[in-house]
Amino acid sequence: MSTASEVQRRVAEYLRGMGLEPGGDGISMFRRGTTAVTVSLVEDEGRVYVRIVATMLTDTVEPSFEVLRAINHLNGQVHLGAFILFDDHKLCFAATLLGEHLDREEFDDALTYVAAVGDRYDETLQRLAGGKRVQDVLEEDEGEG
Q: What is the pLDDT of residues 3-42, one digit of tens each?
A: 889 999 999 999 999 999 998 787 899 888 888 999 999 9
CA dihedral of residues 91, 32, 42, 59 (deg, nearest 10): -20
Instruction: Report how many helices (DSSP H) and strands (DSSP E) the chain contains, helices first.
Output: 4, 6
Q: What is the pLDDT of residues 79-89, one digit of tens each?
A: 999 999 998 99
pTM equals 0.91
pLDDT the model gives residue 1: 66
pLDDT interval class at 139 (50, 70, 90): confident
Q: Tell me the residue type at 103.
A: D
Within 10 angstroms of residue 32's Cβ, the number of other Cβ atoms is 16
Q: What is the mean pLDDT of residues 45-68?
A: 91
> Taking 90 as the threshold, does the pLDDT of residue 47 lie above it?
yes
Q: What is the pLDDT of residues 59-80, one digit of tens each?
A: 887 888 999 999 999 999 999 9
pLDDT the model gives residue 103: 95
pLDDT interval class at 119 (50, 70, 90): very high
Residue 57 DSSP code:
E
Percent pLDDT > 90 in the chain is 68
Length of the chain: 145
pLDDT the model gives residue 15: 95
